[in-house]
Structures are given as C-alpha cells and as structure tokens.
Structure 1
Amino acid sequence: MASKPADYVTGTDGTSSIIVDHRTSHSLPSSAIQSILKPFGNIILKAGKPLPAGSPQLKPYHSSSRKVHIEETRILDTYIYVFTNTADSTSKSPALLDAKEPVKRKLYYFAGGGFRGAPTDQHWSLCAELSTQLPQYSINLVSYPLAPNSPAHHAIPQLEKLYDEMIVQAQAEGSRVTLMGDSAGGNIVIVLGIYGATRWLASGAEGVYPLQNVFAICPAADLRHEHADILAKETKDPVLSKKIIQGVANGWKGDWELADPRVSPALADLSVFKRAGIKVDGMTAGYDCLGPEGVAFREQLAKEGVRGEWLDWERQMHCFILMFQYKFSEPAAAKDWMLGVLRRNAEMS
C-alpha cells in the first residue's frame, strides 16, 4: 500500500507532539463507491423522523458474524450499550491470542449522524469489531440526545452530567477512559474532553486524570464552517457539501452561537489537553468537506504541544473507516491503524 512516511509535527515546546501518518492510496473499489454515492448524497443524508428529546432508546444492530453480546444499561438518564466479546479462545484472532492481560479501560463511542440520526449498522459493527479485537477495553456505545428535539443547549448540559458520572465511576474502579466518536460524535467527544480537562485543572486535583485520550474520526471541529478550502473539497466529497454541513450546524446549535466553544470546540483553549495529560488522536480524509477544519484543529493541537497520533488519508471520503466491513482496502487499513493506536494507548500508564 502506497503511503508517505509519518510526518512529525513539532509543538511549541520543541517536542514532537503530534504524529501524522499521511497516506495516498486510492484503490479502484474506493474510487468506484465514491462515484456511485455522489448522485445520492442528499438522499443518504436526508433527515429521518425526529427522535424524542433526551437519550433515545436504541435497537441494537446485531450481525451474526460478530460474536458479541450487547447489553442495554443507563448512566443517569442516558442509555449506554455495552459490548462483550463472547468468542471462546479457539475462535480468537492471532492479535487477541498475543494480547496482554486485559487492563481496566473503558471506551465510550459517540456515533455520527449529523447530530440528528441514531447510530447506523456501520457504527454497531465498528463497536463490535473494537470489542472483539481489544480485550483491554470495555466498549460502550452512548445514545446521546439529538436535534431537533434536543439541540446543543439541551444536550450538552445532559452530556456534561453523564461525563462527570463516567469519571466518578472510573475513579472508583481505578480505570482509564477513552472518548471516541466520528463526525458529529467527534465534535461531542472533543467538547466533553475540553470540559473535563478544564474542570480537572480548575479543581487543583493531583494525580492521573481518568480521561486518557480522545479519538476524533473526521470530526466536525468548527461548526462555523468558514474554512476557505471547504468549497474546493465539495467537488470531491461524495456525500457532504457546504450547504449540508451548514444546515446540520444550524440545526444543532439551538440557542447558542456557532462560535460558542461548546458547539465549535476548535475555538476553545486546546492547551488544557496538554496540561491535563490527555492525548488527542484522530483521523482526517482528503475528499471530506470537514477535512480542512479537522486538519486545522490537528495543527492547533500541535501548536499547543498536545500529544496525539493522526491518520490523514488523501482521496478518501468522510468517515471512510466505517466501510471496513465491506472489505474495502483503505477502510480496513484505517481500522487496523486505529486498533494499533488504541493498543499502544492501553500500554501507557
């Protein structure tokens, strides 16, 4: 697979803080699916029936090929779906057989969907894959409040309470936490990471903060969507356009301004991640209208000296990793890259 060597982006303190793996391969199947999707972008992203206010109860998508058990539970007033690997040792992959003894790690996944759509089968499948491949982690899919009945000014306060309780539980269990999300979910995990880091630093607490890292896949980092390169990306993006992402942003912000850091986390003080010892990992794609903002966010993290590992794949579409289950080479490779990052994070103290 053609790829460029990793590019080390240097932070302001003179250390290498963000490692960027730039890749350029663009297989024929990948090109074909982008061409097929292009005429149907508006249909694919058409909003369905609005979900009720608050955390919607979900019906798990269960693939017979995934040997996982999904249990519905709640933290405060938010539904959480816990994935458990039920495969016995004879069916485990070599990666699992070689894995170290599991450690206490909790990964909370926030699925994308334009801040208004429930997780798709692709999200359930990705969480199932994480569960089967990462015995070091407990995988939890979060059903967070969605627009239009729960826009940001309603949803974020509920999610801040959820986050506080997750941290309390982690402290009681002696576990570490990873927040992961794609697209809109990537926005939310960044917002919550900043919220948690800021509160931790203000408290003057000592020791290791339970939130170890945030992982943002093709995040919507700046909902103002003013980046000059968005229109250029629009000609290549098979599903998103500037009009679409602006509509999504306006539907989510509610009573808040788009420049509010609780809506556009790229405008927040990102130095809190470094000061709280939180790693920020992520992924961007070259044929993604949100890509320029994701790259700008990553570069700002580097300026602040925040540690992280990022995959930047040219000529790939928004959240291309979610197509790994269809055996496309680039999504499968991106999924394996992500697993590698999470395994390395689990080896850290």
Structure 2
Amino acid sequence: MPLDVASSLLPPLMRLLHFNRTFVTEEGARARMRERTLRPAAYGPPRTLRSDVRVDVVHDRGWPVYTLTPTAVERPAGGVVYVHGGGWVNEIVRQQWRLAAAVAAGAGVVVTVPVYPLVPRGTAGPVRERVVELVRASAERHGPTGVMGDSAGGQVVLSAALALRDQGVRLPVTVLVSPALDLTWSNPRIPAVQPTDPWLATPGARVLADAWRGDLPVTDPAVSPLFGDFAGLGPLTLFTGTRDVLNPDAHLLVARARAAGVEVELFEEPGQLHVYPMLPTPAGRRGARVLVGRVARALRTPA
C-alpha cells in the first residue's frame, strides 16, 4: 500500500524539529534527564478528553493513578492497565491519553493509567512491581484485566506480564505498541533501520536504559523482557512500523513467543514510524481502531 501524504510528510518534519534530540547523542539524553528533574512536565489528561469517559484520580504512595471509565455501558467488560512510553524520561502526553480514552470507550473497559516515576528517580524493578499490583487490583474491581503499553511502557507491561505469569496469572491480552524489548540495543539489524528513523536512536537510549535499570543487570527480564521465558504467557498483540529502530526486536519477540507456544498477533506497517497508531495519519487511525477492537474481543471473551 503506498504511503499516504501525512505519513510521508512526518519524517522530514520531525527531523526539522529535532524530535530525536533526546536520543541521537548521549549528552542529549543526559540533558533531558536534567531538564525533567529541574522542570517536571505536566501529566494530567486534556480537559476535553472524551464526553463518554469519566476521569478519576487517586494518589497512592506518591503515584497519581487515573482511571478512565466508559459512561455509555452499564457494566464494563473488564479492565486494562496502560503504561505510557516516553523513553522512561518523558511524561504522558495528549496522544497517549487519547488512545487510552479510545480503548475505554471503544472496548467498554476501565483503563487504569499510572503516572510512574521517571529516570533518574524511577527504576525498572519497583515500577514493574507496582504495575503488577495495579493489574491485580483492577482484576478484583473490574474483572478480566489486560495490559497495554507503548514504547518504554511496552517494556514495563511485558515485564509485568512475565512477573504475573510467574505468580500464576495469565493475562487475557497484552498489547504492545512499538515496545522497547532489549535495552542492550544489540540487535544487528538496528544499524540498518537507524537511518530511516527520525525519532529514536541508540546513543541516548543506552544512557536512559542504564539509568532505568537501577541495580538490575540490563539483561534481567524486568529491564529487557526479550530475555524472559515466554512459556505460559497469554496472547500478545504487537504493533510496529518498519521505520523504527525497535522494529527488529519486535520480530525477535514474535519468533520467540510463538516458539514458546504463545498466541501472537503482529500488525506491522511498512514505512510507518514509532508508535504509529498514535500518529495523525490514516495508518495511525487504522492501527488505533484495530487495537481497540482487539482489546474488546479479548476482554469480552477472555482466554
């Protein structure tokens, strides 16, 4: 399928606006951490999110935890815990809130959105454990609960899904949008993809990953879930674009998970960028619709 105009214009625009400044150099990543430590970004949802979703928030152990509840259904079909991306250094943004709200309204589920601590304060192990707690709490309150994460958030939720599996909990769905999977950035295919990616790059990503791992080895599945054992996981749904340095690891995840007997649905869009289902393009809108449909199907007929 030929690229649409919006998709073809985004990469040069992003290069012009230096979207990759945090990732293209080590100093860029360090500067971003310093900036976010001195001037934390706002994280709350847009005032005009959706009229068919009610937004609530509680503060628990220093974390703001939002819930998005659909108002057009009498009884939600279950829950989803959504962890946002941003390189472990950037707060949740408008596009991520919109996707979370679309899932709540479109799938008829309660979406829990934790605002977790970022680097250099937050680290992988404690954040994963808190997300595990939130999944269990959602299951108790709302019924069958899956997880969803984009980019860095994909790393968190897949790590949490592995931990829950180890505790005997098989999630009905794990949705990964352009997930970070191996924080060693050692896939030999990454250098071939790098010139086409206007957003992410490995020099800064290595700095952020080193801060995020805390006292864990970078190959610990709590940090790099690609190193985990996938046997016994519930179904995975994965979205990836080919102009994304995380795309090669997505293929490794699909191969390893299927080899372990896991049901995997891969949606790969040629020529599309990182987290393409959140972008204002025809491919992005298609991807978001598919994503909402997969969540609805999984939680109405849980595995």
- TM tier relative to shorter chain: 0.7 to 0.9
CA displacement 1:239-296 (0-9 Å, x = unmatched) = 11222322322231222221122111100111131xxxx1111111100011101111
What SS class does the counterpart of residue 211 from structure 1 fall into? coil
CA displacement 1:91-128 (0-9 Å, x = unmatched) = xxxxx9xxxx7454111110001011110111111112
Q: Which has the larger radius of gyration?
A: 1
TM (norm. structure 1) is: 0.76
Say which of 300, 303, 325 aligns to 2:259. 303
CA pair 269-191 structure 1, distance change in 2 beyond 3 A? same
1:160-309 aligned within 5 A: 160-164=129-133, 166-168=135-137, 170=139, 172-173=140-141, 175-200=143-168, 209=169, 211-273=171-233, 278-309=234-265
What SS class does the counterpart of residue 192 from structure 2 fall into? helix
Answering whether residue 119 of structure 2 is matched by residue 142 of structure 1, we say no
What SS class does the counterpart of residue 146 from structure 2 fall into? strand
**Alpha-carbon distance in structure 1 between the residues aligned to 2:51 and 2:195:** 36
Answering whether residue 87 of structure 2 is matched by residue 126 of structure 1, we say no
CA pair 262-175 structure 1, distance change in 2 beyond 3 A? same
Paired residue total: 291
CA pair 103-85 structure 1, distance change in 2 beyond 3 A? closer
What SS class does the counterpart of residue 220 from structure 2 fall into? coil
**Alpha-carbon distance in structure 2 between the residues aligned to 1:179 and 1:318:** 19
**Alpha-carbon distance in structure 1 between the residues aligned to 2:37 and 2:300:** 39
Return the offset for 1:139.
1.4
CA pair 64-225 structure 1, distance change in 2 beyond 3 A? closer
Is there any run of 5+ residues in structure 1 with no aligned partner, and where? 3-24, 89-95, 201-208
Say which of 62, 65, 72 aligns to 2:47. 62
What SS class does the counterpart of residue 235 from structure 1 fall into? helix
**Alpha-carbon distance in structure 2 between the residues aligned to 1:189 and 1:197:** 12
**Alpha-carbon distance in structure 2 between the residues aligned to 1:126 and 1:291:** 21
Contact 1:287 1:317 (C-alpha < 8 Å) held by counterparts:
yes
**Alpha-carbon distance in structure 1 between the residues aligned to 2:286 and 2:145:** 25
What SS class does the counterpart of residue 36 from structure 2 fall into? coil
Corresponding residue number in structure 1 for 2:65: 80
Say which of 69, 76, 89 aligns to 1:116. 89
Could you tell which deviates more after superposition, 185-194 or 209-218? 209-218
Report sequence identity in percent: 22
CA displacement 1:207-259 (0-9 Å, x = unmatched) = xx463221111100000110111111111001112223223222312222211
Is there any run of 5+ residues in structure 2 with no aligned partner, and where? none
**Alpha-carbon distance in structure 1 between the residues aligned to 2:149 and 2:269:** 18
Corresponding residue number in structure 2 for 1:334: 287
CA pair 105-169 structure 1, distance change in 2 beyond 3 A? closer
Return the offset for 1:44.
6.8
Return the offset for 1:60.
2.3
Contact 2:76 2:142 (C-alpha < 8 Å) held by counterparts:
no
CA pair 264-159 structure 1, distance change in 2 beyond 3 A? closer
**Alpha-carbon distance in structure 2 between the residues aligned to 1:82 and 1:165:** 11
Answering whether residue 15 of structure 2 is matched by residue 38 of structure 1, we say yes
Contact 2:77 2:300 (C-alpha < 8 Å) held by counterparts:
no
Answering whether residue 268 of structure 2 is matched by residue 315 of structure 1, we say no
